[in-house]
Amino acid sequence: MALQIDAVTLFPQMFAAVSECGISGRAFARGHAELQLWNPRDFTADNHRTTDDRPYGGGPGMVMLAEPLAAALDAAQQRQQQKGVARPHRIYLSPQGRPLDHARVMRLAEQPGLILLAGRYEGVDQRLLDEYIDETISIGDYVLSGGELAAMVVIDAIIRQLPGVLGDAGSAQQDSFVNGLLDYPHYTRPEVYRGVTVPSVLTGGNHALIQRWRLQQSLLLTRKHRPDLLAKRGMSAAETHLLAECRQDNQPD
């Protein structure tokens, strides 16, 4: 069954970036996943289609109302149940959530259905979040104008993990962070570009040496740019030896 994704958003037109473009767009077109968008303004009862109000206790900005969001979330869940998803996993996108990482993406990709709530303004009435939301996810320690971009990041990251989505079945397994390391450098034609030659190991045809070089480069880049990943992941004796070789050869890292 295709992965079912519903998103509750005040700006459904923004999601064309994932529903119509690139790998995710092709995945939706080919039936690997289905995306349904719900605008909470369509679930309001007043002429102004109001979805926000001033916060109790005062303060700047507005807070999204619980009632139209609840109605939109209910509609999304009913749609998924009609598609055979008994209980979709409901996610709120917020910088207050736990950071999105590869392990979490893989867990979400195993879900039959997801409902994403993209907040706006100063936030969402907490009572709505307490009743409806299973998980809050952040894509970084910064504030966006709304949760739409974060929701699209989650969708794109998950879609590429679905079976059959990528042309090369091994592509997803070789992405950065899959093994806890940053990706190695990539090269293509021409062999010499502005006086810089592709590393000879990549043109030599020895696949064992190529794999060894790629792991070594991943370790080097991770140590340089994301030492926190190495500290969290740790290194095997063989990987430690690879890094030691780089120091002995005075290679830049």
Question: Is 95 a catalytic site residue?
Answer: yes
Under 8 Å between Cβ of 38 and 9: yes
**Given 26, 95, 223, 226, which residue is catalytic?**
95
DSSP code, position 34: E
Q: Give the torsion through C-alpha atoms of 25, 26, 29, 35, to 10 deg.
A: -40
Question: Is 160 a catalytic site residue?
Answer: yes
Paired strand residues for 91? 116, 135
Question: Is 34 a catalytic site residue?
Answer: no
13: left (phi over 0), alpha (psi -120 to 50) or beta: alpha
Q: Which amino acid is at 215?
A: L
Question: Is 190 a catalytic site residue?
Answer: no
Paired strand residues for 197? 192
**Given 67, 175, 183, 239, which residue is catalytic?**
175
**Given 34, 67, 122, 239, which residue is catalytic?**
122
DSSP code, position 12: G
Burial 213-234 (b: 16+ CB within 10 A, else e): bbbbbbbbbbbeebeebbeeee
**Given 79, 90, 120, 160, which residue is catalytic?**
160
The catalytic site residues sit at 95, 122, 160, 175
